[in-house]
Amino acid sequence: MAEGFDEEGDARPTGPLTGVTVVELAGIGPIPHAGMLLADMGADVICVERAGPPISWVTPTKDVLRRNRRSIVVDLRTPEGVGVVEKLVARADVLLEGHRPGVAERLGIGPERCHELNPALVYGRMTGWGQTGPLAARAGHDIGYVAVTGALTPGPEGTRPFPPANLLGDFGGGATYLVMGVLAALWEAGRSGRGQVVDASIVDGAASLTSILHGLMASDLWTDVRGANRLDGAAPWYDTYATSDGKFVAVGALEPKFYAELLQVLGLEGKVPDRADVSAWPEIRAALTGVFAGQTQSHWTELFMDSDACVAPVLSLTEAREHPHLREREVFIEVGGVSQPAPAPRFSRTPSGTPRAPRERGAHTREILETFGIAEVDELLRDGIVFETLTETNSPEG
C-alpha cells in the first residue's frame, strides 16, 4: 500500500518502513510529529482528520508535520464514520491516537475493539499525563508536563524558567518515545503475531530525558540550585556570549583540551585563572565576555570553523538553513515551497525519499476508501460521513 504513486502522481514515501500501514487519528503536537517520523521512514500513514475546522492553527498545506500523509476526513460522531475507521484498522499495522484517556473507547475505537478487529495491531497512545494517575484526565500542554518532571528547571541563576518552545516535551519526550515504542512493538509483533498497546506520555518521556541529571545528582555533580551546574550556565566555558553585532556564540569547551584551545584562539592563554578554582569563574566569564563582545558573530564563526574549541554561532531558524555544514549535508530542503528539515535519521540501503508536500484535509478520501475496498464511497460522501478536500471556507461545523 505504501508503494507506487498517488492520485497526484507523487511517489509514495520510501524507506525501511515501506509496507507498514499506519492509521493516525489527527491530533496536535506529538501525534502529527510521530506520524511524520514514521512516514519519513517509508510508512504509509493515513491521517483520519476531523470533519469540523482544523485543530491546528497552521495552514494545512504548509504544515510540515502533515507531510508524506494520505488524508481522509471522517465524521467519527456517527456509527458509519466509526465503521470506516474500523475497516482501515482491520488492515493496518499501527494506530496512533492522542486523545485523553477513555475518549477513544467512547468513540468505539479503543484498544479492545481494535484488537478484536486486528489482533496484531500496535496501538500507540499518546497523552500528556499518561493513562493513569490523578492528573490523567486533566488538560495540559508541553510547558506543564516538563515543569513537573524537573526538565524545565535547568537554567542560569537569577532567570525564570522558560520553555524551549515545545521541543522538549511534545517532540522530545512525546513523539520520539511514542515512535520508539511503536517500532519496538512492531518488531515484537512480527515474532509473536500479537499486537499490544504502547502507552507513551510526555511526563514519562520528559522524565526519561533527565536520566543523566539524576545520575549526576547521585554523584554530587548536580544540584537543584539554578545556575550552579556546569551544564546550566554556571561554568563560563559552557554558555553563550554576545558579539559586537548583537548576536551570540555558544561555547561548549567542556574538556580541558578543548578549553585550552579556546583560550589559545582567543589570546587568553595564561591570562585567566585556573578554571578548577570555582571562585575564579566570574573572572573567567568576564574575560570571555569582553573578548567575544569585541568582534562580530561572523568573525568568530570563521575563526573557530577549523577549531576543536567547540564554539558555534547561535543562529535563527532562517539563518540555520544557510550554515555551510548544514547546507552541504542538505539538512534543510524545500518541499512545496516550504523550507523544512529533511527526514532523519539517514539509511544507507533503504534511504527515505523526498517528502511529499501536505495536501488539503481529505485530499485522499476517495483514494483511501477505494484502496481499502470500501465500495459505498459515493453514499458516504453524500451522507456527510466522509469528506473530500476541505479548506477553511468549506469545512463543516465541528
CB count within 10 Å of CB 357 equals 19
Q: Output phi, psi for 106, to 5 deg.
A: -65, -30
Whether a cis peptide bond, with omega within 30° of 0, leads into 345 is yes
Closest among 260, 54, 24, 213 to 125, alpha carbons compared:
24
Q: Please, are residues 31 and 100 in contact by the beta-carbon 8 Å criterion?
A: no
- Catalytic member of 10, 63, 115, 141: 141
For the question of residue 99 being annotated catalytic, the response is no
- Going by the DSSP 8-state scheme, the letter that residue 239 receives in this structure is E
How many Å apart are CA 387 and CA 282, to the nearest integer?
63
Closest among 247, 230, 252 to 304, alpha carbons compared:
252
- Going by the DSSP 8-state scheme, the letter that residue 190 receives in this structure is H
HSE-CB for 231 with a 13 A CA cutoff: 13
Which ranges of the chain would DSSP assign to H, the alpha helix? 30-40, 79-90, 103-107, 111-117, 142-148, 176-192, 202-209, 211-218, 256-266, 281-292, 297-303, 317-320, 324-328, 365-371, 377-382
- Catalytic member of 44, 75, 170, 232: 170
How many Å apart are CA 127 and CA 295, to the nearest integer?
47
- Going by the DSSP 8-state scheme, the letter that residue 325 receives in this structure is H
Amino acid residing at 29 = G
For the question of residue 141 being annotated catalytic, the response is yes
How many Å apart are CA 283 and CA 372, to the nearest integer?
69
Amino acid residing at 160 = R
Give catalytic residues, as residue numbers: 141, 170
